Structure 1
């Protein structure tokens, strides 16, 4: 406890901020230039911290500067400290004026093409002075990296079941079906009943196999008794996918919500194919034990309200799914 108390009395936020900059830039000189201080001041701040902890925080080599295991642990906690301070300042600003704020949102491509615009439309009317920064997030081997690095406040997207991320929590917003889509001019558009095997020879557009949606495709075809079709195009761009499918040359498989939430497109047709897969949950994913900003709380409430009201809407009032 004496060691902890000693550090608590002597650790300076300025020195911690300098350490974060050095690790991020991989150079004391670059950190000094960015922070507009001298390089000796940077070196002294790091040396003071290493002396205080009695541990080496950085390894210096010809290729640059890398954090030691101790340095990485401190940097991780340092990001959390400054993130909490940022939210504290935002909350003070919110208490003085509850109509302003900033929010960084990560969204998968399919959610950004369907559900998210409906949420933002509502939220921007209710909170016109809250600024939203929306970034595309890819559910792949690096999924949730942006959340863990705190470059976004929350993420909206499809999640796997079960959700096995110890440091994250996921609040399910709605469950999404998977549908097969063709152009209105396609020879399949007037069919009343189809199977995936009927489209085995078609030109498919599919997501990359290293993404969550792309990894599902082989199982869907296999469970339907069909071999994996030839896909001359793989893409994560929903806009590109829908434009190409609308021309009648291609077919694709997408989350049903892409054509829901008011995004009706008369050039597209959902084909009458029963996809043998359980509905996939779309959720808001956040870091556990991270203080949510007032703007984040308002936005999350708006997300759930938008989903609830769409679920209550009469089927005739919704877009074709």
Structure 2
């Protein structure tokens, strides 16, 4: 191998710190040793990696290209190192999970809390993702399991609906419409509206509901996340329509939640790759998730 791993490490450190002194401190080696590593790398590669001027190092175009690839290599090495530590410290493995952002606020945290309490020797990696990226994450094996609040249609995915919900109206505390048990779209449209952008799935659901009800509307503020809508409504910007999971549990003081008279239904789904069998940890998580959905459904009835 012409470009040795130790040379790559020194090269990467120079790119990150911008000086030989910085590299020496970062790698705990002497400055002459760093200079020799870089010089040997340039000689063996037949490339000039840095322009030298009065002690300053300026990366060449070739160095910039190499840095991108070396960075990816070190990211992968860190992942392998992390896996090795996990195998030693957490012998029961890991579970990689993602979900729609709105489910991260109230619905999933109790499930995750119960899971990590019951399986402390499993490493859980969890993040939120957009519907448009969910298939890529599953099929690219970045996650094993996804939980979506919106429909997802892909022939290479297994989609299992397991719970239902609705979009709801949120109002500033003390708003006149809050005196009603439910709110109609026509009533909402007479107020300043904070709505999901029409170019995202939630926005398309809301737009279709207004069209079905034959109610003209215009958003005062377009948003893409429910927590933005909640913050704006609480500040008196207007009224909004969000998914019920984002506002469950009373986590937003200063806003009122009311059902819509014209229902906009939602279906929560478990999603996984058709090409991968769910592992033991994923099966355990799914069991807890379905139990949470059953408790929630029983509480609503």
Report the counterpart of residue 270 of structure 1 in structure 2. Answer: 257
Report the counterpart of residue 213 of structure 1 in structure 2. Answer: 202
Cα distance in 2, alignment partners of residues 30 and 232 from structure 1 = 55
Cα distance in 2, alignment partners of residues 228 and 29 from structure 1 = 62
Cα distance in 1, alignment partners of residues 187 and 114 from structure 2 = 41
2:114 to 112, 122, 143: 122
TM-score (structure 2 length as normaliser): 0.66
Report the counterpart of residue 236 of structure 2 in structure 1. Answer: 248
Q: Is residue 257 from structure 1 mapped to residue 245 from structure 2 by the alignment? A: yes
CA 1:314–1:292: 2 relative to 1, 3 Å: closer
> What SS does structure 1 have at the residue aligned with 2:269?
strand
Q: Is the 8 A contact 1:185 1:247 kept in 2?
A: no
2:277 to 276, 291, 300: 291
Cα distance in 1, alignment partners of residues 136 and 165 from structure 2 = 24
2:141 to 146, 150, 163: 150
Moved more, 281-290 or 163-172: 163-172
CA 1:248–1:185: 2 relative to 1, 3 Å: farther
**CA deviation profile, 1:7-53 (whole Å, cap 9, x unmatched):** xxxxxxxxxxxxxxxxxxxxx9899959xxx9xxxxxxxxxxxxxxx
Unaligned ranges ≥5, structure 2: 10-40, 42-64, 66-79
Q: Is the 8 A contact 1:99 1:127 kept in 2?
A: no
Q: Is residue 194 from structure 1 mapped to residue 180 from structure 2 by the alignment? A: no
- RMSD of the TM alignment (CA)? 3.7
CA 1:206–1:304: 2 relative to 1, 3 Å: same
Cα distance in 1, alignment partners of residues 91 and 118 from structure 2 = 9
Cα distance in 2, alignment partners of residues 303 and 192 from structure 1 = 30
Q: Is residue 131 from structure 1 mapped to residue 123 from structure 2 by the alignment? A: yes
Deviation above 4 Å: which 4+ runs of structure 1? 28-34, 96-99
Q: How many pairs does the alignment contain? A: 236
> What SS does structure 1 have at the residue aligned with 2:260?
coil
CA 1:263–1:120: 2 relative to 1, 3 Å: farther
Q: Is residue 111 from structure 1 mapped to residue 103 from structure 2 by the alignment? A: yes
Which residues of 2 match residues 1-321 of structure 1 at below 5 A? 100-140=92-132, 142-160=133-151, 164-236=153-225, 238-260=226-248, 262-277=249-264, 279-313=265-299
Report the counterpart of residue 9 of structure 1 in structure 2. Answer: none
**CA deviation profile, 1:95-115 (whole Å, cap 9, x unmatched):** x99974322211111111231
Shift of 1:287: 0.2
CA 1:244–1:148: 2 relative to 1, 3 Å: same
Unaligned ranges ≥5, structure 1: 1-27, 39-63, 65-85, 316-321
Shift of 1:168: 0.5
Q: Which has the higher Rg, Structure 1 or Structure 2?
A: 2
TM-score (structure 1 length as normaliser): 0.62
Q: Is the 8 A contact 1:103 1:132 kept in 2?
A: yes
